[in-house]
Each structure stands twice: as structure tokens, then as C-alpha cells.
Structure 1
């Protein structure tokens, strides 16, 4: 198994860890009156993110994309930094973090960690990873397609999340 395949499988395992964490956090939120918003776009997000990983493997395998050190190493660094940012978000939000938009009414906004500087740092991680992970092995079609499809999804997601937080957070 080549190193890029190992990387993509490691990211897939990380995604499974995120889903387990999200399910645990969803139970915590719902037990405190948490309400889910935007459930309709969630399956699209799951398919798109699964497609990113599949696209990375398919494009590099079928089209024999080379590893170009001048592109691959910086892209790997960016992908790893995106993972670090994602887990910083998860640890900062604690049980309030989720892959779904579930908001517990009455809780104040989190303003620590990366939320000190950005309102939606997890989505910065998603954008960086969507470009960087495929480019580790020059899967530029996957990077472009994911990014183009992800842009409107992120707009929908951020609008949904902002609206849900505005209704639930004490002002």
C-alpha cells in the first residue's frame, strides 16, 4: 500500500472518530434541549466529504497522478494543519461540537480557542483540507470538484448555523 493511500485511509479513520464523537455530543445536546437545524443538507455533506476521499484515491490510481515534492509536501503540511485546526475546534467546543447543527438554547457563544479570531474556524479547516489533501498527490480534479461543490454547501451551512445560533443564544 502506497503512503498516499495510507494517508487517505488515516483521514477516513479520523472521520469515523469524528462521527462517533458527534453522536456522543448529539446525545449530550439533545438531553439539554438541543435542537437540530438544517438536517436536509447533512446527507449532501456526508456524500461530498466521502466523495473527497474516494476521489483522492480514484484520481491518483486511475490517472496515475505523480507525487510532486514541490506541491506534495506543502499540501501535506496544509492538510495536517487543517486536521489540527479541526481538533482544536472540537476540543474548544467540547460536547457542543457536532457534524450536525445542534444548538442548545441558552448557552452563550464560545469565544475561546480559534473562535477568538474566527466565527467558523472548522469551515476554514474544511476548505483547506478540500484543496490540500488531493494536491498531496496532484489530484487537482478532485480538489477543484470538491471545492466547487463545497462552496454552496458551506454558504448554506454557515447561514443555517448563524440563524440557529441567533435564535438560541442569549443576546
Structure 2
């Protein structure tokens, strides 16, 4: 029962985030923004949908038990949720699930972005590992952590290249 409650809340949260992302994309495009990395975006969406399907099936079909470390894992997951909200609010209208680049934009360097260039990716990686471990879904934790590493190996260089080309990203993050 707790699994259904938690997974339902997380899925609703992700759907709300997609609505926010679409609103932000519309605003950014009206300002002259464009999408970078569009080719890998459907794969990323597929990976995240497959994550939820895998997690639900593994927990229900195999009747996985809670982790003996459930308190620690739940704590980590809840801290990640607070951090996720901090990332989204720090980026404001510039936050998106896609790589939407506004030429000439002043890159956001506040909140967690003061210390880490891609804090939201750290949070997503944490969630993809911790949420399945919380419910004993070890297969899902391993497979989707590895898939996420691959996805980020494509996504981060694509995002950074686009930001370096048309924003003050190099200057803000002191990059060569």
C-alpha cells in the first residue's frame, strides 16, 4: 500500500513537471530559444517511462519487501525531492526536461547551481537508484542506474556544447 502511494505521488509529480516544462518551453521559444539534443530526448523519455514500469512490475510481481534500510533510503529520497524543487525554482522559466537554449541568455548561477553545474542530474541519478532500493527492486536499480549513466554521457556534453556556443556559460562557470 505504501509503495502504491509513493509511486503515485512521484508519477503525479513528474506529470506536473512535464506541464511546467511545456509552459517554460513555450515561453523560451517565444523569446527565440531552440532545442538542442532533440534526437536523444525520446530515448530519455522512454527510459524514464520504462523505469516506472519496471519498478512497478518488479515490486508487485516479485512481491519485493521494503529495504531494511528503508528509513535511510526514504530520508535520502525526501532530501532529493527538496533539492529537485530547489533546482526547478532556481532556474525558474529556464528549467526544462528538454535542452532548450536561449541565445544570449544570462546563465543561471544561483541556488545549487552555485556549486554544481548539473545538480538536477545528480538528483535524478539519486532517485533512479534510491527509489527502487527503498522497495527492494534491485534489478530496476541496477539497470536504470546504468542506463542513466549512458544517457547523461550523451545529454550533458550536448547541453554544455549548446550553452557554450550561444550563452555566457563559459564565463559563468569559468570554463576553457
Structure 2 gaps of 5+ residues are 172-176
Provide the secondary structure at the position in 1 that maps to 2:27: helix
Aligned to 1:48: 47
Deviation at 1:51, TM superposition (A): 1.5
Given that residues 25 and 95 in structure 1 are in contact (C-alpha distance below 8 angstroms), is that contact kept between their aligned partners in structure 2?
Answer: yes
Moved more, 79-88 or 13-22: 79-88
Deviations 1:1-39 (Å, cap 9, x if unpaired)?
Answer: x11111011100000000000000001100111010001
Deviations 1:84-106 (Å, cap 9, x if unpaired)?
Answer: 21111110000000000001111
Aligned to 1:24: 23
Q: Give RMSD over aligned pairs.
A: 1.0
Deviations 1:118-171 (Å, cap 9, x if unpaired)?
Answer: 000000001100000111111011000001111110111100110010011135
Please give the alpha-carbon distance, in whole angstroms, between the structure 1 residues aligned to 2:82 and 2:46: 23
What are the residue-to-residue correspondences of 1:85-104 with 2, within 5 Å? 85-104=83-102
What are the residue-to-residue correspondences of 1:132-151 with 2, within 5 Å? 132-151=130-149
Aligned to 1:108: 106
Provide the secondary structure at the position in 1 that maps to 2:32: coil
Tell me the number of residue pairs that the alignment of Structure 1 and Structure 2 aligns: 169
